[in-house]
A and B are shown apart, each in its own frame.
Chain A
Amino acid sequence: MSDSAPAIRVKVLFFGRLKEIAGRTEDILDLADGAPIEALFARCVARQPELERYRSSLVASRNQEFVAWSTPLHSGDEVAFLPPVSGG
């Protein structure tokens, strides 16, 4: 975490096969304010290296909207890394 940016706390949610790999449905993680979603994913990978291989087949959401991986995060954000959807 950067020394210059204040810390923020975000919630990350796991679904489908990611939930099985992570072994939990959610995490609360602290990051530097404005850190991109990509950095949050890296933090998750650090805790659960097997997540890395799914990176290219995930889409990120922030506060329930699909967003780019470069999207900056702020305190209280709810992020999810979503596998390909298969409803219907």
Chain B
Amino acid sequence: MPMPAPDFDLLLLAHEPLNLSSLIEHVRTPSDGAIVTFDGCVRNQSHGRRTLYLDYEAYETMAVAKMREIATEIHTKFSIDRVAIAHRLGRLKIGETSVFIAVSAAHRPAAFEACRYAIDTLKRTVPIWKKEYFEDGAVWADGELPRAPEDTATAKRAS
């Protein structure tokens, strides 16, 4: 099983535009044959309404801790090398990158799978929220409620 390499992983929240090439270079090493990235960007509409911009906020210390948990988890699940996970905060314009993930690996299958797992998990567990601004108002985006231990305990009692 590959050993977690958290010292080489990069987890960050940024109030300024993300430098995507530096995130990619962070995970590049001579032993890697693949780098897979995910670039999540601001779409110009939501449920048919034209979006003007988004505002992101985070429980910052917990968000970074949860991002680190994701990095640690994908090191144990997949044969990958390095991980970079970065999320923007504050006001983002259409087309700007809100989240960026880069994963390197010796071979591409692990990098693809780990990157997919990382973004899917981030969207379920990292305490970040976005408010969508439209021409005629603003709403907090629908999200996912993270699972807490209570859910597990209830399920066990029921079975």
Contact = CB atoms under 8 A, between A and B. Distances in A.
B142 A86 contact: yes
Contacts of B59: 13, 15, 61, 64, 80, 82
Contacts, number: 92
B129 A66 contact: no
Nearest to B129: A16
User: How many B residues touch the partner, as a band?
Assistant: 35 or more
Contacts of B149: 66-68
Interface string A57-85: 11111001011111000000000101111
A68 B124 CA distance: 17
B56 interface: yes
A61 B127 contact: yes
Contacts of A59: 145-148
A72 B140 CA distance: 30
Contacts of A88: 40, 87, 98-99, 119, 122-123, 128
A17 B124 CA distance: 18
B86 to A, nearest CB: 11
B129 A67 contact: no
B126 interface: yes
A87 interface: yes
Interface of A: 13, 15-17, 57-61, 64, 66-70, 80, 82-88
Interface of B: 40, 56-59, 61-63, 65, 87, 98-99, 119, 122-131, 140-150, 153
